[in-house]
Structure 1
């Protein structure tokens, strides 16, 4: 089946504020010894959290936020190690378990903002595009999206280099679920793709419009 891809806009962001909910801020404030969070104006919760965080040493703050977001997946020892590593390196870009990278990014950037740059900064890339095909009901999972983007990416792109067979082939591509952090679709053809700024950089998208054919068995 032949698809037409049109890149509408590409953004590089150092934070996705929408990730953190009012409930997240309230729970974190409690963990940072601010018990009155539930009675606070929702518009001030983020500012209050940053003030509360500033009373803690960076490593201790990192432990608390990591435990909140990843405590069920990481051991106490792993959280200890990551909280120290985060002060000197962008752990979210290199952590071997890809399914944790997006949450590590959000934790890292919250701390980066709260401490005015004491933590190394990372980035996210948001790609706005349209994808059309003769079959409006065609399955568009994350693996398919990445294969369609392949021809518009520079050869230096890390996803193309690390997953060359999966990007060009029709085999299993489970890593796609974690390469694309979030996928939103509107009007059946407009896509908002959120991924790591380390995995797909804005300047690595070298085409604005192209066509690509994918065999049906590549979707299975």
Structure 2
């Protein structure tokens, strides 16, 4: 199916609003030995957590938050290693398990705020765009569909295109797309906002704001 694509703008952000829920804050406050977190005013929870975190050494706090968000997938040794690496490197951009990068970003930025910059400041991008079919009906698009359709508007220097050239240009499955695209929001399946790491897509990556793309049916091998 043919699509007309318009990339409207890319916003650079330091945190994704609404990612951390009140329940998250209460659970984490408990892990940082903050008393009566459940009875605190909800609007004060983020600030209380920052205060509670700052009473710990940075790598100790990182271990606690990492264990909360990734403890089911990482062992203690891996968490300890990441907690030290986070103080010097942008782990959320470099970690080889791409499906974990979003959570590593959110953990990093929580710690960045709590320690007033002791952790590297990483950034995310919110890409606002429209994808309008020109020869068929509007259909629901997946992360995989969207990245393939954006391909023609992105520079050859773009990291996704460099690492996943075949998946971006051929009608083969692209399962990693679900890890690259942190959020994909739309109310009408035409106008979208996509949240990802600035490392994956940023303003310098866009070489065309209006272009056409073809979405082919994925060939699945028997």
Trace 1:29-40 onto structure 2 (pairs within 5 A): 29-40=29-40
1:185 aligns with 2:186: yes
Partner of 2:2: 2
Q: State the shift of 1:202 in Å.
A: 2.0
Return the alpha-carbon distance in structure 2 between the equivalents of residues 171 and 206 of structure 1.
Answer: 24
> Number of residue pairs matched?
220
Partner of 1:153: 154
1:4/1:210 contact within 8 Å kept: yes
Trace 1:48-59 onto structure 2 (pairs within 5 A): 48-59=48-59
Q: State the shift of 1:213 in Å.
A: 1.8
Q: State the shift of 1:101 in Å.
A: 0.6
Return the alpha-carbon distance in structure 2 between the equivalents of residues 186 and 50 of structure 1.
Answer: 34
Q: Assess, with a 3 A threshold, how the Cα gap between structure 1 residues 219 and 183 changes in structure 2: closer, same or farther.
A: farther
Q: State the shift of 1:59 in Å.
A: 0.4
Q: State the shift of 1:217 in Å.
A: 4.1
Question: Normalising by structure 1, what TM-score?
Answer: 0.96
Question: Normalising by structure 2, what TM-score?
Answer: 0.95
Q: Assess, with a 3 A threshold, how the Cα gap between structure 1 residues 196 and 116 changes in structure 2: closer, same or farther.
A: same
Stretches of 4+ moved more than 2 A in 1?
134-139, 214-220
1:176 aligns with 2:183: no
Q: State the shift of 1:136 in Å.
A: 2.8
Q: Assess, with a 3 A threshold, how the Cα gap between structure 1 residues 219 and 148 changes in structure 2: closer, same or farther.
A: farther
Return the alpha-carbon distance in structure 1 between the equivalents of residues 16 and 219 of structure 2.
Answer: 32
Q: Deviations over 1:24-68 (max 9, x none)?
A: 011111111112111111111000100111100000000000010
Partner of 1:13: 13
Partner of 1:71: 71
Gaps (5+ residues) in structure 2? Answer: none
Partner of 2:115: 115
1:24 aligns with 2:53: no
Return the alpha-carbon distance in structure 2 between the equivalents of residues 190 and 199 of structure 1.
Answer: 20
